[in-house]
Amino acid sequence: MKPRGPSILASCLTGCLGGVILIVVLVVFSMQAVGIFKNSATYTAPGSWSINIHDSGLVTIFADQGSSSPVHAANITVESPSGSTVTVDSFAQNVTSTVTLGSTTYTGVASFTAAKTGVYRMHVVGASGKMLVLPGVGKKLVGSALLSLVGIVIGGLLGLVGVVMLIVGITRRRQGPPVSSVPMQ
């Protein structure tokens, strides 16, 4: 007679598969998040720069606030690929967003919406310091986070199912073979 319950091998494989999925998802999400910031462009104000925007949407501008005249939204003007002026919005006073790259901490100071892809011109006058421009960060991180969440749920459920299978299998094996329901004579 075969033992009752799931096999220990099947239970362990299911649990391990869930664990592997969790680890892979977390590593991939971390690499994507780091890649977004690693591929960002840094600039030193004052000056003018061309920024190639590959995805339309929100572009966030961060600045090192450690200089004597740090960059603020009022110091920034942006031109679209067609040459028209793009509205630059200041970060709200009660919103703080920071990014640390190396030894420099950048604080979110402004943003603008890139209506289409292409080369935008950014000008900064009346301020000095390092700046970091991150196009489409929100979209990329939210997309990665949603996919990662699905992977985490699947991996977590597989891991949980594996543990439950292992417990059920071990418990049933300890109980011994089933008792016969045939009456004794």
- State the first-to-last Cα distance of the chain, in angstroms, to the nearest integer: 24
Helix (H/G/I), strand (E/B), else coil: 18? helix
The pLDDT of residue 70: 87
Eight-state DSSP code of residue 22:
H
The pLDDT profile of the chain, 185 residues, written as one tens digit per residue, is: 555 677 888 888 888 888 888 888 878 777 766 666 665 678 889 999 998 888 788 888 889 888 788 898 999 999 999 999 999 988 765 567 777 777 888 888 998 999 998 999 999 999 999 998 887 665 555 666 677 778 888 888 888 888 888 888 888 777 666 666 666 66
Q: What is the CATH number of domain 40-135?
A: 2.60.120
pTM recorded for the entire structure: 0.59
Neighbouring CB atoms inside 10 A of 73's CB total 15
Domain boundaries, given as residue ranges, for the chain: 8-33+141-172, 40-135
Reported as half-sphere exposure (CB side, CA atoms, 13 A), residue 71 has a value of 28
* Cα dihedral 11→12→17→20 (10° resolution): 150
Q: Which amino acid is at 158?
A: L
Q: 107 pairs with which residues across the strands?
A: 63, 98
Per-residue pLDDT reduced to its tens digit, 15-56: 888 888 888 887 877 776 666 666 567 888 999 999 888 878
The backbone region for 15, taken as left when phi is positive above 0, alpha when psi lies in -120 to 50, beta otherwise, is alpha
